[in-house]
Amino acid sequence: MSVILEQAIGDEISAAVKRIESTGRSSPLGVTLSLEGANFSVYSKHATGIELLFFNCVDDARPERVIRIDPSTNRTYHYWHVFVPGVKAGQIYGYRVEGAFDPPSGMRFDPAKILIDPYGRSTVVPQNYSREAAREKGDNAAVAMKSVVVDPHAYDWEGDMPLHRPSARTIIYEMHVRGFTRHPSSGVAEKKRGTFVGLIEKVPYLQELGVTAVELMPVFQFDAQDSPPWRVNYWGYAPVSFFSPHQAYSSRQDPLGPLDEFRDMVKALHRAGIEVILDVVFNHTAEGDHNGPTLSLRGLDNITYYILDHDRARYANYSGTGNTLNANHPIVRRMIVDSLRYWVEEMHVDGFRFDLAAILGRGESGQSMPNPPVLWDIESDPVLAGTKLIAEAWDASGLYEVGSFIGDSWKEWNGRFRDDVRSFFRGEERSVGRFADRLLGSPAIYGHKEREVEQSVNFVTCHDGFTLNDLVSYNQRQPGRRQRQP
């Protein structure tokens, strides 16, 4: 009798576990940890099937466990979700998504490819990662980037808060995290060079310079192989995840290391009175053009996430990098705002500089919109209130909005300040009047908006073009031949 009762109880428990595993909830997107396990939710309108894969190691050729998400019980509208008991922080995972592969209609599903979670908070990259394998036919599990389950609340901020320094008293130092300490002359220990923790060691130097904010060139996880042959994408303008810090910038290579090390850096800079501004890329991804790899968004729902050309087998290319994110689609808008909120709430970032921000004003047909929803979503979001929002107010297809960028709280990279100051120092004719206007806060550009002078973010050099020394030394720049190392 007791044996039968024990078996009955065991069967009931097993059935309960299966019910829990087969349900889950649609919100929030990404992974939500609890004491019992983790909820997984991902968006795809046009998929016909989705598998959630768990891996023991980043370079495993086969998943340790495969959970097929049932579309009849685990799909709410276009959200696919499942709760998996027992999952803990550090679990490596990815998705495989089934659906039509029909490029002329915009569909590019490939169930052989491992896809990272668009909302993944941490990303791991195998030693033998292959962008090419994500582009060609066949399984790429052993050489694919993968996502990591994270508990974003498991960190002691020790009372740290964003600084909210007024823009009028802000002096920004643009820097590349790796390049800043990579050379031995930085004085940083070899194992810490080119990392977030290496930057911490240079905080006294930054204080001596008198800067009040650092603007970090892209620190979202990016694809270093998104580059011409025999070169490496060094700058990082090739994002694959909008929520996870770049793994290679961490001295800790465990799955959760980059997350904690980034927050250690933010905390150290704040203690020194220095704000952290991120150069964010929401205009395109590393998935490239129609010949590019399937890493995440392309394989989840291509026609949702990207602006397609008239020939729907190809991508609109307002970014100059092969594709353009469909930023004003409701799902993509939500992802962008959720990303910004995450970096402010959980990572304590003080502001953002938006790369090619004019693209965020384009609709799904590529047209410039008079009131782009995503820009107003960002400006009106209560979590982002008081956060510095800086627009690079142009794109790679001729849209130039310096002095006319949408919104009330946005500041703008003033490219005309850069050009007119250079013209003045070169002694060009009729440059004095323009130079004087720039020194007064460019009222000729911004006067119609009745803004304060800090509307203009003034700069003479940046990561684009000549350095300040080269600016007065050479007439033209020749592209170098030396390969950059990541």
Instruction: Order the strands of the 411-413 sheet from edge to edge.
Output: 172-175, 213-216, 275-280, 351-354, 388-391, 411-413, 456-457
The rounded distance, in Å, linking the Cα atoms of 143 and 61 is: 8
Query: Which residue shows structure tokens 């968004």?
Result: 297
Tokens of 289: 């053009």
Distance from first CA to last CA of the chain, Å, rounded?
66
Residues catalogued as catalytic: 355, 392
Task: Name the nearest CA neighbour of 234 among 388, 426, 463, 472.
Answer: 463
The rounded distance, in Å, linking the Cα atoms of 112 and 109 is: 9
